[in-house]
Structure 1
Amino acid sequence: MPAEFLPDHLLSTSQTPVRGVVFDMDGLLLDSESLAMDALVAAGRDLGEDVPLSFCRRMIGVPADGCRALVRDTYGDSFPLERFFSLQEEHLRVFVDTGRLVLKTGVLPLLDLLDERHIPRAIATSSSRYRTDHHLKLVGLFDRFDAIVTRDDVSRGKPDAEPYLTAASRIGVAPEECLALEDSRSGAQAALNAGIRVIVIPDLIAPSEEIRAQALAIVKDLTVARGYIERHTA
């Protein structure tokens, strides 16, 4: 990976060696956020409700309990909340199982590099255990991670630090020696709250100014993250 793929400040400053990597899943490893958004809109349509895409995007990177609170606060207590999310799961499963779920750019070369350098890696996702395992198995990634932490495995979801701290602990690497890879604001904040440096690869929503100020870099795809790991592994 040529050095010019890395932002200048990552070339000119010393960095703690990367001894472990923690990945988000949806929108980072898998091109799944757009499918999830389409499924939410379809679920609203099934119920005769106008649930616009702009509203659905507010749920990106937010754990299920947070999404439920957002919908309840917006549409009121009479909204059929559980049916809405059940229908979303049904639509999403159809989208996924009919071949619409694909990997994001750079995923396999990055995992190959981690294999070559014997760097442990984990997933910290806001998705459920069922959805996570199903999606990872479908795209052939399930066995390529040393630990997988889902929303079902922690008491507090992103942006709380717990998912990232749990993932780092399960691969046996101190937070300060990990690198987090995230696409969402709440996910990036979770990594930062855990004391883990983060590179943000935005998917459907742009990072906030606060995240821009605190992240190592905001980059277009995982190819750049691969360059950083090549340069900063022990």
Structure 2
Amino acid sequence: MPLNALPDHLLSTPQEPVRGVIFDMDGLLLDSESLAMDALVAAGNDLGYDVPLSFCRGMIGVPADGCRQMVHETYGSDFPLERFFKLQEAHLREFVDTGRLILKKGVEPLLDLLDRHQIPRAVATSSSRYRTDHHLKLVGLFDRFDAIVTRDDVSRGKPDAEPYLTAATKIGIPPEYCLALEDSHTGARAAIAAGIRVIVVPDLLAPTEEIRDNALAIVKDLTIARVYVEHHAG
């Protein structure tokens, strides 16, 4: 199935109504993953370490504690872990505040559709509360969500189901009537574990076979996911 179309059965067969939508943030709402990768490389350079993009991409969709474990296991206990992530945050903030952060294609039309149908929506992200609020406010999306669940708000991050279950609870919609929108396999696994159907819009990582087998669809951008929501809005 091409990425510019939904599988035919998603529009031609009965589906549970979509009564709530839960969005990932980085790489899904915001074109921020490439900025985060560049910031990691820059932080490594500041400290005299070669931190290749191939390694950084392994952190996509992984909560901060998991990223710290990855760096520790790869670079050893002498690596200045906390300094590294503080420098990364500083570089990322510079990139964002100088105008490099933009919305992904289709975000605003989809949110407008949810407004028209009065469908509640939430963010469930692996980013910190500080980063999440700052980024969403900067691009004018902060007030367009009924709930925002960050890594700071849950005890277990993605791929655990907790972020998605928490978001569904906060918007008052049972998981089976929610739709998750994700870009990473880690996030998609979290939605699936929560019993929430998921449409994946890949960003920097290609979906795994596991995700291809379990997601509703893999699509090019949110304009295509919007077709599903409009067809099944409940």
Question: Normalised by the size of structure 2, how large is the TM-score?
Answer: 0.98
**Contact 2:165/2:194 (<8 A) preserved:** yes
Cα distance per residue 1:14-62 (max 9 Å; x no partner): 2100000000000000000000000000000000000000000000000
Cross-structure match for 1:221: 221
Deviates further, 77-86 or 10-19 = 10-19
Cross-structure match for 2:184: 184
Q: Using the alignment, how far apart are the partners of 1:72 and 1:157 within structure 2?
A: 19
Cross-structure match for 1:39: 39
Q: Using the alignment, how far apart are the partners of 1:76 and 1:152 within structure 2?
A: 26
1:8 aligns with 2:8: yes
Deviation at 1:165, TM superposition (A): 0.1
**Helix, strand or coil for the counterpart of 1:59?**
coil
**Contact 1:199/1:225 (<8 A) preserved:** yes
Cα distance per residue 1:116-141 (max 9 Å; x no partner): 00000000000000000000000000
Give the ranges of 4+ consecutive aligned residues of structure 1 lying more than 3 Å apart after TM superposition. none
**Structure 1: any 5+ residue segments left out of the alignment?**
none
Cα distance per residue 1:87-109 (max 9 Å; x no partner): 00000000000000000000000
Q: Using the alignment, how far apart are the partners of 1:114 and 1:92 within structure 2?
A: 30
Cα distance per residue 1:68-101 (max 9 Å; x no partner): 0000011110100000000000000000000000
Q: Using the alignment, how far apart are the partners of 2:7 and 2:212 within structure 1?
A: 13
**Helix, strand or coil for the counterpart of 1:205?**
coil
Cross-structure match for 1:115: 115
Q: Using the alignment, how far apart are the partners of 2:17 and 2:9 within structure 1?
A: 16
**Structure 2: any 5+ residue segments left out of the alignment?**
none
Cross-structure match for 2:141: 141
Deviation at 1:217, TM superposition (A): 0.1
**Contact 1:164/1:190 (<8 A) preserved:** yes
Q: Using the alignment, how far apart are the partners of 2:194 and 2:61 within structure 1?
A: 16
Q: Using the alignment, how far apart are the partners of 1:52 and 1:123 within structure 2?
A: 29
Deviation at 1:9, TM superposition (A): 2.5
Cross-structure match for 1:157: 157
Deviates further, 10-19 or 216-225 = 10-19
Aligned residues: 231
RMSD over aligned Cα, in angstroms? 0.8
Cross-structure match for 2:20: 20
Cross-structure match for 1:56: 56
Identity rate of aligned residues, in percent? 81
Q: Using the alignment, how far apart are the partners of 1:6 and 1:31 within structure 2?
A: 23
Deviation at 1:5, TM superposition (A): 4.0
1:231 aligns with 2:214: no
Question: Normalised by the size of structure 1, how large is the TM-score?
Answer: 0.98
**Contact 1:22/1:179 (<8 A) preserved:** yes
1:173 aligns with 2:176: no
Deviation at 1:233, TM superposition (A): 1.2
**Helix, strand or coil for the counterpart of 2:180?**
strand
Cross-structure match for 2:96: 96
Deviation at 1:6, TM superposition (A): 2.7
**Helix, strand or coil for the counterpart of 1:180?**
strand
Deviation at 1:8, TM superposition (A): 1.4
